[in-house]
């Protein structure tokens, strides 16, 4: 039993986290979910140890539901019925490291190509895996510059190409084209190619975009990772990685101690997050995900219009949930709304649970800060 002072601390933390959840626009996570029906599982020990597709000797797990989660996303991403494998990760970073780990094992002398807009977790993977990396330019809207990819690949024709294709870059939600990446590399004479798609943000809804981005297994992708806590929503970070089964079989090994293959990046794994994701996808289904996307797109479009109406040059990529605008000068506004800023731009992301009322409150505060800065500037000139 906690003492009174400790209980007060917890109550204060709950209040502050609730306020921070409500005033949150700069980073991607969904709000408004309700997993209260699953609370009973928090009183049980669970560990999805080992390969989710093998029984093993460890049964304190939720691997049956985990397999259904993986199957759901494998189908969503057009994987073959008999050529996919995956597991629930602790987030997009683990998924990126895992995809690039497979790529390195398949192509030890491969060169990694990625853009400067690629998520920072890829740089971490490069250091951990000892990969040689070549940075490719991005187009102004965040998509890979394929002419630059062609130019840089020509200098490395004797090395297999490992490519990170972004399906929603961090700041601008740019989307790389997997088909164009493969065609570009093949045109210069590189035949050994591995494409990993970082679809942390957009993966769960990209199949419903019109036109649909070319990013999945039918387009030539070898592995895909998504985040579960972003578009779907979860009280803790989680994700899913799906890869071609033929690739995974090349790197797995049997561990007698657990009676299963060592195919996952980590040994002990969360048994609760697969239950969360299973619950969400069973409740939403494909149509629920599509409707959620449309609602978010409407809020994003509203945000662009609202910002433009006060003289802020805001824009978004087609179908994107991310709204990009010039760097916000007010530290108060940035802190309250937890805005992400990089170089000369800031952004907000219209995630599930973000409402037009949130946008109105943000725009009103931003406009007031701009007016205050203008008043200060006028006073400085008059003096």
More confident residue, 371 or 44: 44
Q: Whose CA is closest to 270, among 65, 128, 102, 117?
A: 65
Is 248 exposed, middle or buried (CB count within 10 Å of its CB: 0-12, 13-18, 19+)?
buried
Residue 259 scores a pLDDT above 70: no
Task: Quick: pLDDT tens for 149-203.
Answer: 999 999 999 999 999 999 999 999 999 999 999 999 999 999 999 999 999 999 9
Is 54 exposed, middle or buried (CB count within 10 Å of its CB: 0-12, 13-18, 19+)?
middle
Task: Quick: pLDDT tens for 205-247.
Answer: 999 999 999 999 999 999 999 999 999 999 999 999 999 999 9
**φ and ψ at residue 177, rounded to 5 degrees:** -100, 110
Average pLDDT for 128-135: 97
Q: What is the predicted pLDDT for the residue at 251?
A: 78
Is 320 exposed, middle or buried (CB count within 10 Å of its CB: 0-12, 13-18, 19+)?
buried
Rounded-to-integer distance, Cα 376 and Cα 383, Å: 11
Residue 9 scores a pLDDT above 70: yes
Q: What is the predicted pLDDT for the residue at 44?
A: 95
Rounded-to-integer distance, Cα 203 and Cα 240, Å: 10
Is-contact 134 112, C-beta < 8 A?
yes
Instruction: Categorize the per-residue pLDDT at 54 as very low, low, confident or very high, splitting at 50, 70 and 90.
Output: confident
Q: What is the predicted pLDDT for the residue at 372?
A: 76
pLDDT > 90: percent of the chain: 87
Task: Quick: pLDDT tens for 329-352.
Answer: 999 999 999 999 998 999 999 999
Strands 322-326 and 345-349: antiparallel
Q: Whose CA is closest to 240, among 71, 34, 23, 10?
A: 71
How much is the pTM? 0.94
Radius of gyration of the chain (CA): 22
Rounded-to-integer distance, Cα 84 and Cα 363, Å: 45
Is 214 exposed, middle or buried (CB count within 10 Å of its CB: 0-12, 13-18, 19+)?
buried
Q: What is the predicted pLDDT for the residue at 143?
A: 98
Residue 381 scores a pLDDT above 70: no
* Helix 92-106 with 120-129: angle, nearest 10 deg: 40
Q: What is the predicted pLDDT for the residue at 256?
A: 45
Rounded-to-integer distance, Cα 84 and Cα 172, Å: 30
Residue 300 per-residue DSSP state: H
Domain 36-283 in CATH 3.40.640.10: yes
Q: Around Cβ 106, how many Cβ atoms within 10 Å?
A: 17
Q: What is the predicted pLDDT for the residue at 377?
A: 44
Average pLDDT for 255-273: 78
Residue 62 scores a pLDDT above 70: yes
pLDDT averaged over every residue in the chain: 93
Task: Quick: pLDDT tens for 348-380.
Answer: 999 999 999 999 999 999 999 997 775 444 434
> What is the SS3 assignment for 6-25?
HHHHHHHHHHHHHHHHHCCC
Instruction: Categorize the per-residue pLDDT at 257 as very low, low, confident or very high, splitting at 50, 70 and 90.
Output: very low
CATH number given to 10-32+286-368: 3.90.1150.10
pLDDT > 70: percent of the chain: 95
Instruction: Categorize the per-residue pLDDT at 135 as very low, low, confident or very high, splitting at 50, 70 and 90.
Output: very high
Q: What is the predicted pLDDT for the residue at 374?
A: 57
Instruction: Categorize the per-residue pLDDT at 1 as very low, low, confident or very high, splitting at 50, 70 and 90.
Output: confident
Q: What is the predicted pLDDT for the residue at 378?
A: 40
Instruction: Categorize the per-residue pLDDT at 55 as very low, low, confident or very high, splitting at 50, 70 and 90.
Output: confident
Q: What is the predicted pLDDT for the residue at 59?
A: 85
The domain spans of the chain are 10-32+286-368, 36-283
């Amino acid at each position: 039993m906690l003492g009174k002072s400790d209980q007060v601390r917890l109550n204060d933390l709950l209040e502050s986290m609730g306020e921070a959840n409500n005033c949150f626009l700069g980073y991607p996570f969904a709000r408004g979910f309700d997993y209260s029906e699953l609370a009973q599982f928090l009183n049980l020990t669970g560990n999805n140890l080992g390969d989710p597709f093998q029984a093993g000797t460890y049964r304190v797990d939720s691997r049956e539901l985990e397999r259904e989660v993986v199957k759901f996303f494998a189908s969503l991403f057009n994987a073959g019925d008999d050529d996919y494998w995956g597991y629930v990760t602790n987030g997009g970073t683990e998924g990126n490291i895992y995809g690039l780990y497979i790529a390195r094992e398949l192509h030890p002398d491969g060169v990694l190509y990625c853009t400067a807009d690629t998520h920072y977790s890829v740089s971490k993977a490069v250091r951990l895996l000892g990969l040689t990396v070549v940075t490719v330019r991005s187009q102004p809207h965040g998509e890979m510059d394929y002419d630059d990819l062609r130019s840089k690949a020509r200098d490395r024709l004797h090395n297999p190409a490992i490519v990170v294709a972004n399906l929603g870059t961090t700041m601008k939600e740019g989307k790389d084209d997997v088909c164009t990446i493969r065609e570009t590399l093949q045109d210069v004479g590189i035949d050994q190619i591995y494409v990993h798609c970082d679809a942390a943000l957009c993966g769960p809804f990209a199949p419903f975009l019109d036109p649909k981005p070319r990013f999945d297994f039918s387009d030539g992708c070898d592995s895909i990772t998504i985040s579960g806590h972003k578009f779907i929503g979860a009280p803790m970070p989680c994700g899913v990685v799906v890869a071609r089964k033929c690739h995974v079989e090349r790197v797995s090994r049997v561990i007698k101690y657990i009676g299963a293959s060592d195919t996952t990046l980590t040994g002990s794994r969360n048994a609760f997050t697969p239950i969360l994701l299973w619950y969400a996808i069973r409740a939403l289904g494909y149509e629920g995900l599509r409707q959620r996307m449309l609602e978010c797109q409407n809020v994003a479009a509203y945000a662009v219009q609202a910002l433009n109406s006060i003289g802020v040059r805001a824009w978004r990529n087609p179908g994107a949930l991310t709204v990009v605008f010039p760097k916000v000068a007010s530290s108060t506004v940035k802190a309250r709304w937890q805005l992400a800023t990089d170089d000369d731009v800031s952004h907000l992301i219209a995630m599930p649970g973000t409402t037009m009322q949130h946008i109105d409150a943000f725009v009103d505060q931003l406009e007031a800060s701009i007016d205050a800065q203008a008043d200060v500037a006028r006073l400085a000139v008059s003096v």
